[in-house]
Each structure stands twice: as structure tokens, then as C-alpha cells.
Amino acid sequence: MPAFILEKLCRGCQRCVHACPNNAIQMIAHMAVVDPEKCVECEECMEVCMQGAITFRSEQKEARANG
């Protein structure tokens, strides 16, 4: 599953944009957006996100089920 941006947490700092080796993340209206075609799930974006705004879709579904 490609990376997923949690919109409520994203602050538009662009750290993930610069960290992505495949240019899979771009900023649209001050929000990070992942291109699932380019994302290779390397987790570089997750490691640099200081807000915890990046996850993977399967993890997000688990969080909803448990929360």
C-alpha cells in the first residue's frame, strides 16, 4: 500500500517531498499528496515527518477500527 497523508496532521513543511527518492510526493494547496503509482513504500517520508502525518492505508484502516 502506498503512503497516505493524514490531512489533519500535515503542516505542509515539505520534508516528505524532499525525502522521497521517487518524487512520489508533491504539494497541492499546502498539503502533501502521494502519487500511488510512484510510491515504492520505502518509508523515507514517514521517517522525516515530524507531525506523524504519514502512514500506510492498511495502518489507517486498523486505526479506525480500533479507535
pTM over 0.75: yes
- How many domains are there within the chain? 1
At 20, is the secondary structure helix, strand, or coil? coil
Cell 500535515 -> residue: 10
What pLDDT digit, counting tens, does each position of 37-65 carry? 999 999 999 999 999 999 986 654 445 55
Our measurement of the distance from residue 29's CA atom to the centroid of its chain's CA atoms, rounded to an integer in Å, reads 15
Residue span of the structural domain in which 18 resides? 3-66
Asked if pLDDT for residue 17 goes beyond 70, the answer is yes
CATH number at residue 38: 3.30.70.20
What pLDDT digit, counting tens, does each position of 21-40 carry? 999 999 999 999 999 999 99
User: What distance in Å separates the CA atoms of residue 26 and residue 12, rounded to the nearest whole number?
Assistant: 10
